[in-house]
Amino acid sequence: MSDREQTEKTYNYTGLGIWLILFLVTVLMSTVYSVYAQDDAFITYRYARNLVSGNGFVYNLGEPILGTSTPLYTLLLALLSKLTQQPIPEISHTISLLSAWITSAIIYEIGKKNGHIVALTAALLYLTNYILVLSIGMETLFLNAMLLAAIWAYTTKRLTWTAILGGLLILTRYEMGLMVAIIVTHYILENKRLPFWIWPTIVVVAPWLLYAYIQFGQPIPQSVISKLAAERIPFLLGALVNWKLLSDQLILFNLFAFFILLGFVKLAKQVANNLAHNLILIWTGTYLFVASFLAGSFPWYYGPLIPGLIILVVYGIEFVAQQPKTSTTTLSDTGGAIAVRNYLFYNIAAVLILIQLFYWAVDWRAHRGTISDSRFPMYSEVTDWLSINSVSGQSLATEEIGYLGYYTDMRIIDLHSLVTVYSSGTTVPEALSQSLEVHSPDFVLIYTDNKSIDILVADGRYLLERDFGDGLLTLFSMIE
């Protein structure tokens, strides 16, 4: 065996070993967050369940309204549920974990030209990132896997696959068209010709857009229209709030901001000689800019930023590790400097990974793998009560429709306009007034501390049934 073949064999074993390490960390994530899912995820789950049941791409039967922003993920959940006969929430949880593992492995693969340890550090920092945990069960982790796969395909000159993945990305979430535009722009600037290879993207996306226009009257989800029109905590302010919450638990979390800034310093001194990293960073800046104007502060909106931020953190670690200089040019002194730099890099990387694992440890200690959306216990009370006291075909007007909609299977009248259409900018009390007039729901569940109770009392047709969640929610039923 030649030296080159021996080296390639060693690299292959190293790569397989690192993929295994990343898989074991994913298993740990699965153990700590075995049942976690956000309430909003269950909106998509209900669309998928209706598809499996043969009721079509609808939330409420007979109401063709597009209330999920991720058509591809919905179709994938429905397909896998049909094939495996497994519960949709469990399927989505498995997809999230596999996607996290695959994304971390791709981060390693695209970064290993900078060294195996550097690439492994980036992969582990991604995989253990606490913000990603808040997206388990959503489409976000799957989206990140598709995003990194498209970038990897493009940088390895697999243009047809790049185009196909680009189309699938757009169907996962429409805003991912920004990444396709970045890749196309880079290709034009780099090659001075048009990217005729992009046609598979159009072939993938066009059928859905045509179907959505015919079925729903427009391809833009009602949920997106509603969220853009509603009052919300701005994207950047939400990021600061989440950062403060994490740093309040562990002040060392602020080290990430320090290394992100140093990552920018390193880039200012020398542009990264890694096309994949550069594309990810361009994507991160573009997404951040657009989201700052259009997006709210839902935790899963921050997931697509994580790969780019992790790359900046690793660059920041490298910047610190490269600071020790030798005053001589002897081989021994140079070797000593390299050893010091490696020592610094390994130790800083280990500290940052342990900081992220701290949040996993806190969650495990408190919940032993049963941590869930904080609203779930309260909504479980509601669904248990409704399962006993409601009959098939009855309707429920409420503000949060994920868990309630999936586990009651009632006709849902959504007071936040994700799957129920109101005029633009309608507030919850206004939506309730319209719903009482137009839909006459059998039950109304509202937060106790808002003006909606006065509207129900004034209506005169509803009886207060009981409170849930220590008085946080109040349920009314129509007087028979």
Confidence of residue 3 (pLDDT cuts 50, 70, 90): very low
Tens digits of residue pLDDT in 307-342: 999 999 999 999 999 886 644 445 445 667 778 888
Residue percentage of the chain with pLDDT more than 90: 80
Tens digits of residue pLDDT in 335-355: 677 788 888 999 999 999 999
Domain coordinates of the chain in residue numbers? 3-367, 376-478
Using CA atoms, how far apart are residues 465 and 272, in angstroms rounded to an integer? 62
> What is the 3 state secondary structure string of 22-35?
HHHHHHHHHHHCCC
Looking at 13-17, 142-146, 468-472, which range is the least confident one?
13-17
Whether 76 shows a pLDDT value over 80: the answer reads yes
Both structure tokens of 417: 């306009």
Tens digits of residue pLDDT in 64-74: 999 999 999 99
- Dihedral angle of Cα 476, 478, 479, 480, to the nearest 10 degrees: -140
Confidence of residue 425 (pLDDT cuts 50, 70, 90): low
pLDDT number for residue 322: 85
Whether 464 shows a pLDDT value over 50: the answer reads yes
Both structure tokens of 357: 């694992």
Whether 408 shows a pLDDT value over 60: the answer reads yes
Handedness of CA 331, 333, 339, 342 (dihedral sign): negative
CA atoms within 13 A on the CB side of 28: 15
pLDDT number for residue 245: 95
pLDDT number for residue 7: 45
Chain centroid, CA 320 distance in Å: 31
Mean pLDDT of the 134-146 span: 96
Residues in the chain: 480
